[in-house]
Amino acid sequence: MPEVYKQSFKQNYTNNVDLSVFNCGLERCAPGHTWGPGIRDHYLIHLILAGKGTFQTGGKTWELSPGDMFFVQPNQLNTYTADIQQPWEYCWVGFNGISAHKLAALLPFSDEQPVHHTQHPEEMYSALDNIFRARGMRVQDETAMVGYLYLFIAALMEETSERKPHNTNSSSQYVLNAIKYIQFNYSHDISIDDVAKSVGVSRSHLYRVFMSNVGKSPIDYLTEYRINEACKLLRAGTLSIAEVAISVGFFDQFYFSRVFKRAKGVPPSKYLAAQQAEAQSSETTDPE
């Protein structure tokens, strides 16, 4: 029986709210080793390298072997178990962030089919291994990990196009186009009517497909995106609060402060002060 091992890395803090690696690793499981039943708060993809096991979600069970990949979505109850006789060895990456949902929609997985057999197992393993090798707590490490994550997702997207032609009329496509519009125009004085018009649907239809695909309304998504971008600018420390507000599409500083406090629990002034205090503490405690 091959020796059991586990090598893993978990990110405790991220500077990148758009997309970040939550965890990654490699493991040869003990016979019958089980995770779950439970839920995750992030997206998670496993690639089976050797051995066998089962993946259960949505009331269905899949028998998996080398080359198979299984996809775990946030807040989705699932269980996965290594075979007793031939326990599996796999590698994985977990990710989250504002863009995670739209990227997940482009992968070769669905609620009905959360399992995919890759035609390029060596390429997929190499892509996941690159993420793990780049691990670290420095900003440059995180940037490298996210870069390799994008390359891994791009490789999976290639297999998506081979497996299922993209339906440009689907509700998910409307959402993706709306998200793209928001991300390119959030700093301007845009309304949800503008977003709906840009993707060619009514405001009410956009609301329905957003709630169905994202779990929040378009205005909530737009507001959350703006506030997260504001946090980035505040952490950078180069702009005043008024300048930050205008930069993310709020042209009334007092309204911006109210929205920011509702989202983050503190007004932007206190958030900025806390970031500055943390930076000063880090400078005084870090070794030369």
Please report the pLDDT score of residue 170 as a whole number: 65
Query: Can you point out the beta strands (E) in the chain?
Result: 5-10, 20-28, 34-38, 43-50, 53-57, 60-64, 68-72, 78-82, 89-96, 115-117
Using N-to-C axis directions, what is the helix angle for 253-264 and 218-236, rounded to 10°? 100
Please report the pLDDT score of residue 168 as a whole number: 46
Domains by residue range for the chain, with CATH: 5-163 (2.60.120.280), 171-279 (1.10.10.60)
Q: Report the alpha-carbon distance of residue 254 to residue 233 in Å, rounded.
A: 17
**Token reading at 192:** 């949800």
Residue that the structure tokens 């690639």 belong to: 47
Grouping H, G, I as helix, E, B as strand and the rest as coil, residue 138 is: coil
Please report the pLDDT score of residue 83 as a whole number: 97
Q: Report the alpha-carbon distance of residue 122 to residue 119 in Å, rounded.
A: 9
Residue that the structure tokens 């991220």 belong to: 14
The CA-atom distances, in angstroms, between 36 and each of 26, 40, 68, 74, 111 are 18, 10, 19, 14, 18
Task: Yes or no: say if 48 and 26 are a contact pair by the CB < 8 Å rule.
Answer: no
Please report the pLDDT score of residue 85 as a whole number: 95
Output phi, psi for 131, to 5 deg. -60, -45
Task: Yes or no: say if 16 and 72 are a contact pair by the CB < 8 Å rule.
Answer: no
**Token reading at 88:** 């599996």
Q: What is the pLDDT along the chain (288 residues), one digit of tens a residue?
A: 578 999 999 987 777 778 999 999 999 999 999 999 999 999 999 999 999 999 999 999 999 999 999 999 998 999 999 999 999 999 999 999 888 888 888 899 988 899 999 989 999 999 999 999 999 988 899 999 999 999 999 999 888 765 554 444 467 788 888 998 999 999 999 999 999 998 888 899 999 999 988 889 999 999 999 999 999 899 888 889 999 999 999 999 999 999 999 999 999 999 888 877 776 665 554 444
pTM of this structure: 0.61
